[in-house]
Amino acid sequence: MTHRLAALIVASCSVLASLPSPAQGLRPSSGAGALAPGARAQPEAQRAADYIVAVVNSEPITNSEVQRELQRVIQQLAQQRRPVPERKEMAREVLENLINQKVQLQSANETGIRVDDAAIDQAVQNIARQNQMDVAQLRRRIADDGLAFSQFRAQLRDQLVLTRLREREVEPRVRVSDLEIDQYLRDQQSVKDPANIELNLAHILVSVPESATAAQIGAQQGKAQKLLERARGGEDFVALVRDFSDAPDRANGGQIGLRTADRYPPLFLDATQALEVGAIAGLVRSGAGFHILKVIEKKSAGLPAMTVAQSRARHILLRVSPQLSESAAQAKLAEFKKRILAGQADFAELARSNSQDGSAAQGGDLGWTNPGMFVPEFEEVMNRLAIGQVSDPLVSRFGVHLIQLMERRNAALSPREQREAVRSLLREKKLDDTYVNWAQDLRGRAYIEMRESPQ
């Protein structure tokens, strides 16, 4: 099985991810025979000609199952504007995936893994909330794609069972020792090739026109030198970018973005290669003018980021209850936003008097937070906000929120946090290998009969 195609098929089987847009249609897991949009009903002749293509421990897999899943994967590739492999190859990959999934579901059943209706209900609610829907809207979306809700729940149950099986059988087998972390860090730090070093630089540009006179060049250089002194003196670099840079990336704090060092101009690389994160280089002259460069992030391409973008936000949370419906909570927070933007109310005061979260006493202030600390539906909205911007009301598993982003910054990870980041990186790599070996072993112990198509 080719790694890229196998990964696509495995990933496409999860119904726990966010739903696609309404235009794309709903595509749940393939394992229980999901119908792809545009393929809601098979012609009578095709149904009559259906046949078994494989038997897994006495359970059959039919040609129609393979064809439905194959069609779904092809449509997904097309929506992602990715090349579609040769159909016969894809059919083999799809069948292999269905066999592996059936083997694992049988193992879960034999070893007593069960998922009750309450867990399915909670998963359905989570999927709806992640997609800014209620359950009734989700049911309509599923029906629009020609899938019975009971079938959707059955597929969801299978995916939860598989997740629990892998958590029980695979994750306990993976351990990362401190010696492995030490060795990995030594290996990565010994790499000096610019193609294996990643940099994120921020810059202030004081432009110099092509036809500038010596006096004009001197004046611009003097301006740049004063800005350099202010930046090295501790002034907020982002504010200096916003107020003085002539570059078009002012809204991003002047950041060029994390990329391998060999993709930066040699002038920039020469000026910053000996600097630590947070340091500011001397003036760099290019054809565009004078640059003031700050090192935002520097790491080996094989290492996780040693700095993290932190956010400081505040929010108002209204919990849904018999006394307050979700729609009523959204309407109330929408009114709060209107009053805040009109200058008729203060966000912090509204949070103190209305928020049902522990942060209410601090005016809703959540403090500085790292990525991953909030539920995805909250964090995705927060990450799209500009500083000072107030979101529309959003629904999470905790209730309905109104968010305001207060500040953003790049913070260096502590040595302990850096080691834990490396541990997570190594663990993910080991998990992949361990899962493949476990799945192959499980399949090797199953009875699998491949059948030829009837002539």
Q: What's the rounded mean pLDDT across residues 92-118?
A: 92
Beta bridge partners of 292: 204
Per-residue pLDDT reduced to its tens digit, 173-189? 999 999 999 888 877 76
CA-based nearest residue to 402, from 317, 277, 295, 299: 317
The pLDDT value given to residue 449 = 93
The pLDDT value given to residue 332 = 96
CA-based nearest residue to 306, from 181, 200, 153, 170: 200
Evaluate if residue 285 carries a pLDDT over 90: yes
The pLDDT value given to residue 184 = 82
The pLDDT value given to residue 17 = 36
Residues in the chain: 455
Q: 389: how many CB neighbours lie within 10 A of its CB?
A: 12
So where are the chain's domains? Answer: 3-169, 192-300, 307-412
Angle between helices 135-144 and 149-169 (to 10 degrees): 110
Evaluate if residue 46 carries a pLDDT over 50: no
Distance CA 158, CA 104 (A): 10
Distance CA 425, CA 227 (A): 39
The pLDDT value given to residue 192 = 57
Say how far residue 93 (Cα) sits from the centre of its chain. Answer: 26
Distance CA 19, CA 37 (A): 14
Yes or no: say if 228 and 280 are a contact pair by the CB < 8 Å rule: yes
CATH class held by domain 307-412: alpha beta
User: 253 — phi, psi (to 5°)?
Assistant: 70, 20
The pLDDT value given to residue 1 = 39
Q: Write the CATH number of the domain with boundaries 192-300.
A: 3.10.50.40
Q: Where residue 12 falls among pLDDT bands split at 50, 70, 90?
A: very low
The pLDDT value given to residue 234 = 86
Q: Where residue 195 falls among pLDDT bands split at 50, 70, 90?
A: low
| 17's tokens | 């991810």
Q: Where residue 360 falls among pLDDT bands split at 50, 70, 90?
A: very high
Query: Max Cα separation, the chain?
Result: 88
More confident residue, 197 or 323: 323
Q: What's the rounded mean pLDDT across residues 330-337?
A: 95
Angle between helices 3-12 and 87-110 (to 10 degrees): 50
Q: Choose from 13-17, 146-150, 167-171, 416-420 the range with maximum mean pLDDT.
A: 167-171
| All residues at 6 or more sequence positions from 158 whose CB lies less than 8 Å from its CB, including other chains | 29, 31, 32, 101, 105
The pLDDT value given to residue 14 = 38
Find the distance separating the first CA and the last CA of the chain, reported in whole Å: 27
Evaluate if residue 4 carries a pLDDT over 70: no
Strands 307-318, 289-300: pairing is unpaired
Say how far residue 43 (Cα) sits from the centre of its chain. Answer: 39
Per-residue pLDDT reduced to its tens digit, 233-280? 988 888 899 889 998 777 678 888 888 877 888 899 889 888 888 899
| 380's tokens | 């995705």
Evaluate if residue 305 carries a pLDDT over 50: yes
User: 267 — phi, psi (to 5°)?
Assistant: -60, -45
Yes or no: say if 159 and 14 are a contact pair by the CB < 8 Å rule: yes
Least confident of 30-34, 271-275, 294-298: 30-34
The pLDDT value given to residue 25 = 31
Dihedral sign, Cα of residue 176, residue 177, residue 178, residue 183 = negative
Q: What's the rounded mean pLDDT across residues 374-381?
A: 86
Q: What's the rounded mean pLDDT across residues 128-135?
A: 78
The pLDDT value given to residue 7 = 35
Q: What percent of the chain has pLDDT over 90?
A: 41
Evaluate if residue 344 carries a pLDDT over 50: yes
Q: Choose from 64-68, 335-339, 405-409, 410-414 the range with maximum mean pLDDT.
A: 335-339
Distance CA 400, CA 393 (A): 6
CA-based nearest residue to 160, from 110, 90, 206, 105: 105
Q: What's the rounded mean pLDDT across residues 346-369?
A: 95
Evaluate if residue 32 carries a pLDDT over 80: no
CATH superfamily assigned to domain 3-169: Porin chaperone SurA, peptide-binding domain (1.10.4030.10)
Dihedral sign, Cα of residue 372, residue 374, residue 378, residue 382 = negative
The whole model's pTM is what? 0.53
Task: Tell me if domain 3-169 and domain 307-412 are identical in fold.
Answer: no
Mean of pLDDT over the chain: 82
Q: What's the rounded mean pLDDT across residues 94-108?
A: 94
Say how far residue 245 (Cα) sits from the centre of its chain. Answer: 32
